[in-house]
Amino acid sequence: MLITGRTLDQGATVEEKLTEEYFKAVSYVELSEEDFNALNLQEGDRVKVKTDFGEVVVFAKKSNLPKGLAFIPMGPYANQVIDPATDGTGMPQYKGVKAVIEKTDENVKSVKELLEAI
């Protein structure tokens, strides 16, 4: 289950979206220690996050999340895979999407590359 949200670093760089700092602040996924280990990951490894709505390559990070939950900071990477349906409210479902996460050798795209690919 994938959720997205604000973080301090994302907020502090949100007015500098074309910088390296912003890239670092939003291009990762947090996983529970258990899931992280199960995927045989090292800090800095890349993973591909796949949902019914798209896929995106991001860096993997270990965190204190409960098993089965993953978190990507709000931003362009998260938006590749969230559920765009607003179910009549106008609000897409940014939190709570079923996702499959696997280790990958593919590169993490830059913010600009991400936009070009849409």
Partner 1 sequence: MEVNVVCTFCGSVCDDGIFDTEKFKTKRLCKLGSSKFSKKERIKSPMIDGKEVSYEEAIAKAAEILVNAKRPLLYGWASTVNEAIRLGIILTEKVRGVYDQCASVCHAPSILAVIEEGLPAGTLGSIKNRADVVVFWGCNPMEAHPRHGMRYSISAKGLLVKDRKERKVIVVDVRETRTARQADLFVQVKPGYDYLVFSALRAIISGNADVVPDEVGGVSKDKLIELADIMKNAKYGAILYGLGLTQSRGRDRNVENAIKLIQLLNRYTRWVILPMRGHYNVTGAGEVPAWECGYQYAIDFSRGYPRFYPNEFSAVEVLKRGDCDAALIIASDPVAHFPKEAVKKLKEIPVIQIDPFPNMTTLVANVVIPSAIYGLEAEGTAYRMDVIPIRVKKIIDTEYWSDEKILEELLKKVEELMG
Partner 2 sequence: MLILKPKVDFVVNVEAEITPELATKDLEEIKKFKVYYGKEEVELEKLFEISKQGNEKKIVLEGDFSKVKWIGYKMEDGEIVVKGNVGSHCGACMKGGKIVVEGNADDWLGAEMSGGEIVVKGNAGNLIGCPYHGDTTGMTGGKIVIEGNAGNYIGERMNGGEIEIKGNAGDFIGTEMRNGKIVIHGSCGFVGGDMRGGEILIGGDFEIVPSFKKTEDGYVGDLNVKGEGVVKKLQ
* Footprint of partner 2 (CB under 8 A): 85, 87-88
* By CB under 8 A, residue 7 contacts partner 1: yes
Measured in Å, how far apart are the chain's first and last C-alpha atoms? Answer: 24
Q: What are the residues facing 48 on neighbouring strands?
A: 57, 102
CB of 52 to partner 1, least distance (A): 12
CB of 86 to partner 2, least distance (A): 8
Binding partner at 5 among partner 2, partner 1, none, C-beta below 5 to 8 Å by kind: partner 1
How many angstroms separate the CA atoms of 71 and 74, rounded? 9
* By CB under 8 A, residue 75 contacts partner 1: yes
What residues contact residue 38 under an 8 Å CB cut-off, 6+ apart?
none
What residues contact residue 78 under an 8 Å CB cut-off, 6+ apart?
4, 26, 56, 72, 94
How many angstroms separate the CA atoms of 47 and 16, rounded? 25
Q: Encoding tokens for residue 112? A: 């600009």
Binding partner at 59 among partner 2, partner 1, none, C-beta below 5 to 8 Å by kind: none
- The residue (of 4 and 41) whose beta carbon lies closer to partner 1 is 4
- Residues forming contacts to partner 1 in the complex (CB under 8 A) are 1, 3-8, 11-19, 53-54, 64-66, 69, 71, 74-76, 79-80, 82-84, 86-96, 111-112, 115, 118
